[in-house]
Amino acid sequence: MIYTSYFGNKILKPYPICIARYCPKYAPMPIYRRLCPTEKILNLYKSRKINERKYAEIYINDILAKLNPNDVVNEIKETLKVTDFTFCCYEKSSDFCHRHIVKEWINKYADYQVLELTSPYRVYNSDFCLEFFKD
């Protein structure tokens, strides 16, 4: 099974994989750089020059459109010799994060299902991300 979560979540099982640009020192783990957002998109978002919808659009066009979700999952499984893993980033389950976009992308286009590992926090409603993956 494939999951998504955030670094501060105590439930980082199974095998955590960072998809942020940098991994926190308190949670060392492998980084899968192909799914990391670019510095440009992060700066635009953090400076509030773009909103979540525009972030998602840029992330999908600049990152995900160049990848095949089945190839991504298979590469991780083969390279790390794991069957189950968790994509990790900084934002809590209730906050906007590119990992929610990755989750919807894999669920829509790959032969795998991805679930958010939740904690007591509300899970972010990523339904708006689905509109980017219409056929």
Do 34 and 19 touch, CB atoms closer than 8 A? no
Cα–Cα separations (whole angstroms), residue 78 to 32, 74, 113, 117 = 13, 6, 18, 23
Do 4 and 116 touch, CB atoms closer than 8 A? yes
What does the pLDDT profile of the chain (135 residues) look like in tens digits?
A: 999 999 988 766 789 999 999 999 888 899 999 999 999 999 999 999 999 999 999 999 999 999 999 999 999 999 999 999 999 999 988 899 999 999 999 999 999 999 988 755 444 455 656 566 665
